[in-house]
């Protein structure tokens, strides 16, 4: 599983991109992913303070974008 984020630049909200955060192999159930994904998002946001998460979802590695 992976967390798929759609993020936009705070300084220019028209500049957006997709970010994919791989999760541990033990997170295979979508319900578990939804709970654990908040930790991954929080870390990503802390590392990227100039970006804002607009939406997100859990998906299988390689799944189509949002």
Task: Please tell me the predicted confidence (pLDDT) of residue 56.
Answer: 93
Q: What are phi and psi of 60, to 5 degrees?
A: -80, 150
Burial category of 39 from C-beta neighbours within 10 Å (exposed 0-12, middle 13-18, buried 19 and up):
exposed
pTM score, whole prediction: 0.80
Q: Which pLDDT band, with edges at 50, 70 and 90, does 64 fall under?
A: low
∠ CA 29-27-66, rounded to 5°: 70
Q: Closest Cα partner for 31 from 7, 57, 10?
A: 57
For residue 45, the model assigns a pLDDT of 96
Res 6 pLDDT > 80: yes
Q: pLDDT digits over 7-63, tens only?
A: 999 999 999 999 999 887 666 776 778 888 898 999 999 999 999 999 999 887 766
């Amino acid at each position: 599983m992976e967390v798929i984020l759609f993020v936009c630049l705070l300084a220019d909200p028209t500049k957006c991109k997709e970010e994919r955060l791989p999760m541990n192999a033990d997170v295979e159930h979508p319900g578990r992913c939804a709970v654990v994904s908040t930790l991954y998002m929080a870390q990503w946001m802390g590392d990227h303070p100039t970006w804002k998460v607009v939406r997100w979802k859990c998906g299988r590695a390689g799944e189509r974008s949002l």
